[in-house]
Amino acid sequence: MSPTATQNAAIQAHIQGLQFVGGIIAPAVGADLTGDQLVFTNGTSTSNIAWLVGHITFSFDGLLGSALGLAPALAPEKLAQFQGGNGTPSTDIADYSSVEDSLAALATAVARAVEHIETLEDDVLAQPLPEGHPAAGRFPSIGVLLSAMVFHTGYHAGQITLLRRAQGLAPGIGAPPAE
């Protein structure tokens, strides 16, 4: 029996959420930033825009992808610097891919995850993460991880917006800068 749209409503909701947050990063970053602006830190955090884009990409390709049983599409050595607490943001723009390449890698990682999730049925959402998965202790199921990906990406989109505003730039998304 093929699933109906109602039977897979939860899968569709997760797909919509992932596509939405995956689509807000490029506008949040914008195409107008210099290298110095991409690696700017505000003093209270070592995160910068270039690192955040890589970190979100790692989260989709490495963390979510591996939970879904997908082999990483991106070079592991290239993404190692972006792993949560293991990654240390660099303030040297030469340590990062171009913003265009980074955003393209993110778009690919999101599209790949969504393409795979479209093949799943709602009951998969209740399944635990694979044994040994680095996030298995934090997230009890595939569904919770998918929800967390939406939150995580939105959280970092907010950081990108704040880093832009701290430099006197338009936020990229949201309200225009204060006059």
pLDDT tens figures, 61-93? 888 999 999 988 876 666 666 765 556 788 999
Retrieve residue 33's tokens.
Answer: 């930033």
161 contacts: CB under 8 Å, gap ≥ 6: 28, 171, 172, 173, 174
Asked, for residue 177, whether it belongs to a domain, the answer is no
User: To 10 degrees, the CA torsion angle through 91, 38, 166, 148?
Assistant: -90
Q: Identify the residue whose tokens are 């704040």.
A: 162
Q: What is the pTM of this model?
A: 0.88
CATH number at residue 53: 1.20.120.450
Instruction: Give the per-residue pLDDT at 155.
Output: 94
44 pLDDT band, cuts 50/70/90, is confident
H-helix or E-strand spanning residue 114: helix 99-117
* Number of structural domains the chain divides into: 1
Asked, for residue 179, whether it belongs to a domain, the answer is no
What percent of the chain is predicted at pLDDT more than 70? 86
Q: Which residues span the domain enclosing 39? A: 9-166
Instruction: Give the per-residue pLDDT at 2.
Output: 47
Name the residue type at position 120: L
Asked, for residue 173, whether it belongs to a domain, the answer is no
Cα 63 from Cα 41, distance rounded (Å) = 25
Asked, for residue 2, whether it belongs to a domain, the answer is no
